[in-house]
Structure 1
Amino acid sequence: MILKAFKEKSNQKYINKLLSERTASVHNKKINSIGVILHLNEFSDFEAIRNYFKSLGLIANRIKIIGFAEEEKDLGYQWETYVNSKDFGWKGKINNVELQTFIDTEFDALISFYKQSSLELNLITAQSKANFKVGLSNKDQRLYDLIINVSPDEFNLFKNELKKYLTVLNKL
């Protein structure tokens, strides 16, 4: 239990370091690739998200979705990539090759579709090389370029708001 607390503190320090070095340099190009981070306890309709982004004109192979579950037993096998807390080490180290690939991919946009603050999900968002980051949670506003303050179960409202803001920002 004590080691877990030290590990969390170590990872939080790493997140703070990444966010203090982050520069907001959002490009004005259209969104062609997108990454989505889901917390499986809050939202688990993988196909609804994929279909929404297809309806916006994105090609299916340019949409990458990962799901996070607190416990390994909660993981489903329908996800492209799914992770749990065992995939994270000390000082921001990632112990999952697929997750590291997701983080290193330079998406045009990253959607952090979770409201519940989670150190692991914040670590993925902070480390991501995505150009434009959108989130639901405003617990740490430094993580995102755009925050849409809706609950994950209000997916239709989220879809409308995201489309509206991306259109205003000339991203679609």
Structure 2
Amino acid sequence: MFINQLKDFLIKNKVKKRLSNVTPDFNSNPIKTVGIIFDETYFEKKVAILNELEKKGIPLEKISVLIFNTVAKKNQAFEHPTYSTNDFTLAANFKNPDVNEFISKKFDLLINYYDIEKAALLQVSNLSNASFKVGFSAVDKRINHFMINTTTNNYKVFIDELFKYLKILNKI
């Protein structure tokens, strides 16, 4: 318990330091690949969101999903890569190869589908190699390039608003 609190504190400090040096960079390349970071602890509509993205014209094979799970259970199988606080070192680096692979992938769009700031989620979002990051307005404004003011339960509103603005920005 104490180790997880210490890790959380160290990760938050590392994220704060990195966010103080953030410079917004925006390109107008069209969206072809999408990465999504979910917080599994309170949201169960992953499949519905993936279906909505597919309806909007993004093929499922071009979507990568990473799920943050607060409580890591051994011998539990997931259909998508997951990580937890246990996958961090005390230096706030990742031990999980799935997280390292996700961070190193070049995404045209990263959807940060969480509205509660948790250090592990912020760290992955911040380190992600995505050219355009989208999330909720409740999260630190420096993490995302574009924020949508809704709740995580309104996934249809989120996806509709996202694609409305992507069309305005000539990203689709």
Q: Please indicate, yes or no, whether the TM-score normalized by the shorter chain is above 0.5.
A: yes
User: Match for residue 96 of structure 1?
Assistant: 96
Query: Which amino acid in 2 is paired with 1:83?
Result: Y
Deviations 1:37-88, CA, capped at 9 Å, x for gaps: 1111222222212212222222222100111111023996343211111112
- Cα gap change, 1:106/1:79 in structure 2, threshold over 3 Å: closer, same or farther? same
Tell me by how many angstroms 1:2 deviates: 4.8
Q: Tell me the distance in 1 between the aligned counterparts of 2:99 and 2:137.
A: 21
Match in the other structure for 1:49: 49
Query: CA separation of 1:4/1:74 partners in 2, compared to 1, >3 Å: closer, same or farther?
Result: closer
Q: Percent identical across equivalent pairs?
A: 28
Structure 1 partner of 2:166: 166
Consecutive unaligned residues in structure 1, runs of 5 or more: none
In 2, are the aligned partners of 1:133 and 1:146 still within 8 Å (CA)?
Answer: yes
TM-score, L = length of structure 2: 0.90
Contact 2:10/2:91 (<8 A) preserved: yes
Q: Which amino acid in structure 2 is aligned with residue 91 of structure 1?
A: A
Paired residues of 1:38 and 1:44 also in contact (CA < 8 A): no
The structure carrying a bigger helix percent of its residues is 1
Aligned length: 172
Residue 134 to residue 10, structure 1, CA distance change in 2 (3 Å): same
- The one-letter amino acid of 1:10's match is L
> Is 2:13 aligned against 1:9?
no
CA contact (8 A) 1:42 1:114 kept: no
Contact kept in structure 1, 2:8 and 2:85, CA below 8 Å:
no
Contact 1:113 1:135 in 2 (8 A): yes
CA RMSD of aligned residues (A): 1.9
